[in-house]
A and B are shown apart, each in its own frame.
Chain A
Amino acid sequence: MRFFEYEAREIVKRAGIPVTDYGFTTDAAEAKTIAERIGGPTVIKSQVLTGGRMKAGGVKFADTPDEAQAHAADILKLEINGHEPRGVLVDPKADVKQEYYMGVVWDGAAKKPLMLFSDMGGIDIEQVAEEHPDHVGRGHFSTLHPFSDFMAKQVIADAGVTGKALQRCTPILARLAQLFLDNDMILAEINPIAELQDGSFVALDAHMEMENEGMGRQKALIKALGIGAEEGTRETYVPSAFEEAVHAVDAADHRGVIQGKDNGFDGNIGLIIGAGGGSLTLTDAVRQQGGKPANYSEIGGNPSVAKACGLAKAVLQKDGVEKIAVMMSIVSNTRVDIVARGVIKACLELGKDPAETIAIFRIPGAWEDEGFKILDKYGIEYCDRSVSLWEAAGRAVEKIQGAAA
């Protein structure tokens, strides 16, 4: 779940991290009132869930409350990358001595949170990491063991920061790490965390994303931020044509469940896979043996022939897919013969030879004898439970990659 900056700042504030005396409003006149309360130059920032605010004119500086009101009125009407602003944040213009970056992100490969710190804040951390890797400190920490401040200190020191800055940033990064753990975040970032002329530190911007599955545990926080259930996860993911096609097939028939994803997949092996974690295992097995999946899918819950057929057709109609691998771990309620009928029917309706198109069919379990009769009739290579998922995936890779070579 994504958060607007004004919400992320509130989360940061609740964690005991110093923030500026900002205000959020949806009304230009109120922006003036906030600027008057601040009593000095301000920054007016559009509240949108997209990047590129500065370039699009969504961040403006004001010297007076009247100017703040005028800028707020302009920004409230400004659409950025197709996003209407939720409101504006009116922030005091800070007297900054130096900007730093600090963030905690979930590292899916390490399966641990990763702390990042840099003395080059205010710009993308990816750019700093690429151009000035010696200015970035990194360190994983456990989600099981208590967090200790020394771990944050080590990461900051690794970025080359010493002295007072090191001492003052340590508790802030430690609180950010604790905030990450306490609130089921997958990203908690403060960029920049600014050192002011008086030597104090303050968060000038924040970016938070919560694990969607954590939303149930974090109802109190979500409610406290005034976020209604109707807002969901605020994901802006745009499904591909393939994903929409699979969703339509699934929605049209209550029997069974299918899912299809192809964001980030550009291979030539069409996958019809599923069953009790089988999809993840099989996708990994295909990749680790050199195969390039064209998609990810899940099929199960005893789908109809029409549903299995619909999924197979959607996969086969993807660019670059000549063959499909139909593989599941051992099925109990999903029927082998029904899935076999579905994938064969898809081939026939698309004018393809099932024996040539289905590289391997490895679904053992309920009604497999009947399924194997169907597969025999169409000359399709299949295997039973004596062939592991790994081996079946390997056979598919060999057959498909071999044919493509």
Chain B
Amino acid sequence: MRKDAIFIGIEVKDEFTSDPALGAKLNEVCPVNIYKGTAEGVDIVEENIDECVLCGLCYDASPDDAVSVLKLYSGGEPLR
């Protein structure tokens, strides 16, 4: 699943989008509420994507390569 705003894009690898535990964890750590945990797994709140402060907490809370934060103003360069 990938969603792009103006400045930031968020990608959650498909194999992790149906993990409710990951959804809840991302919901907990993101300071600007980009992720929403649901019973089905992970959702991305589109209107909050450009509020991303590039803190990387979503990377730290996820298995390797599960999420990517992309800087669309810098050629789609990933945060990590």
A321-373 contacts to B (CB < 8 Å) = 335, 337-338, 341, 344-345, 348, 370, 373
Question: Chain B residue with minimal CB distance to A307?
Answer: B51
Q: Given the complex of chains A and B, what is the CA–CA distance between A378 and B51 in angstroms?
A: 18
Q: Given the complex of chains A and B, what is the CA–CA distance between A337 and B74 in angstroms?
A: 12
The answer on a CB contact under 8 Å between B50 and A373 is: no
B1-17 contacts to A (CB < 8 Å) = 6-7
A203-262 contacts to B (CB < 8 Å) = none
Which one of A306, A341, A377 contacts B74 once the chains associate, using CB atoms below 8 Å? A377
The answer on a CB contact under 8 Å between A305 and B50 is: yes
A373 and B51 in contact, given A341-B6, A341-B7, A345-B6 (Cβ under 8 angstroms)? no
User: Residues of A contacting B71 with CB < 8 Å?
Assistant: 370, 373
Q: How many contacting A-B pairs (Cβ < 8 A)?
A: 27
User: Residues of A contacting B51 with CB < 8 Å?
Assistant: 304-306
User: Residues of B contacting A335 with CB < 8 Å?
Assistant: 53
Q: Mark A304-321, 1 if CB is under 8 A from B, else 0.
A: 111000000000000000
Q: Mark B22-65, 1 if CB is under 8 A from A, else 0.
A: 00000000001000000000000000001101100000000000
CB distance from B27 to the nearest CB of A (A): 18
Question: Chain A residue with minimal CB distance to B49?
Answer: A305
Q: Given the complex of chains A and B, what is the CA–CA distance between A373 and B75 in angstroms?
A: 10
Which one of A341, A370, A377, A378 contacts B50 once the chains associate, using CB atoms below 8 Å? A341
The answer on a CB contact under 8 Å between B73 and A374 is: yes
Q: Mark B68-80, 1 if CB is under 8 A from A, else 0.
A: 0001011000000
The answer on a CB contact under 8 Å between B53 and A377 is: no
Q: Given the complex of chains A and B, what is the CA–CA distance between A373 and B71 in angstroms?
A: 10
Question: Chain B residue with minimal CB distance to A306?
Answer: B51
CB distance from A246 to the nearest CB of B (A): 19
Give the interface of A toward B (CB within 8 A).
304-306, 335, 337-338, 341, 344-345, 348, 370, 373-374, 377-378
Q: Besides the contacts A304-B51, A306-B51, A377-B73, what 12 more A-B pairs have beta carbons closer than 8 Å?
A: A304-B32, A305-B50, A305-B51, A341-B6, A341-B50, A344-B6, A345-B6, A345-B7, A345-B50, A370-B54, A374-B7, A377-B74
Give 17 A-B contacts (CB < 8 Å), ordered by A residue.
A304-B51, A306-B51, A337-B54, A338-B53, A341-B6, A341-B7, A344-B7, A345-B6, A345-B7, A348-B6, A370-B54, A370-B71, A373-B74, A374-B7, A374-B73, A377-B73, A378-B73
